[in-house]
A and B are shown apart, each in its own frame.
Chain A
């Protein structure tokens, strides 16, 4: 037969145990930390020039040293007997992958005052790509300016 004292001790243990439950689930006030990262300006400039073939593509790899804005400007293209300087081509920014540049941002554009492609990127290795979108009747000389942090 349990004595009153034994029952009292057991009850105390039970209450203590139950009281300890959920202690680690006690809600705390949420802490909000706001981190603002400012995109660095394009402080480095690289020139990419060459010739893009009919149905062809060319790309140029470069390093972005810190999170910031990358600007790609098609300064000049064509101007030959078979390709007018006003021709439209594809221009983009991406990551070197395999034997090509896998673009993450691209558009069709003519040459001119740019940038035509602008993208905010983390530090890493990227590429600028120019490609024929079906308008070239012959090889097209081009000049591209890549500005990046």
Chain B
């Protein structure tokens, strides 16, 4: 009986060692690239016009740019008109594009690129084919 009591005391003493405020009590959730940020860039693009949208990426991340819709300004009917979209960094009064493509609207990203942390921009421009102004919506997705 006394042996058992001694063993319990010894076990309790050993078990109590090493406990401090910083000892994790459960598995911590990994932090980092867990959340996806989505920005919507929309407006009206005139013939020969360029517009851009800036956003900040906190860590190295893939950026996915989707020209989601292009519609006529008068009756809002969807069109298959091609426009240019690109990804780059803001410089002066423009977006200096490092990647660009002339595309029609789609459900999947037409431009994708891995970027470093910092401020980036997505531009939409008339590649010289717009007969008139169009409404557009561009979806920008990245990990935050």
Contact = CB atoms under 8 A, between A and B. Distances in A.
Mostly, the B contact residues are strand
B136 interface: no
Contacts, number: 75
B17 A17 contact: yes
A90 interface: no
A113 interface: no
B57 to A, nearest CB: 11
A42 B55 CA distance: 25
B93 A60 contact: yes
B45 to A, nearest CB: 12
Interface of A: 2, 6-7, 10, 13-14, 17-18, 20-22, 24-25, 46, 48, 50, 58-63, 95-99, 124-125, 127
Given A17-B14, A125-B118, 20 more contacts: A2-B6, A10-B10, A13-B10, A14-B9, A17-B13, A21-B13, A24-B20, A48-B92, A48-B93, A50-B93, A58-B93, A60-B93, A63-B91, A95-B56, A96-B119, A97-B56, A98-B39, A98-B55, A99-B51, A124-B119
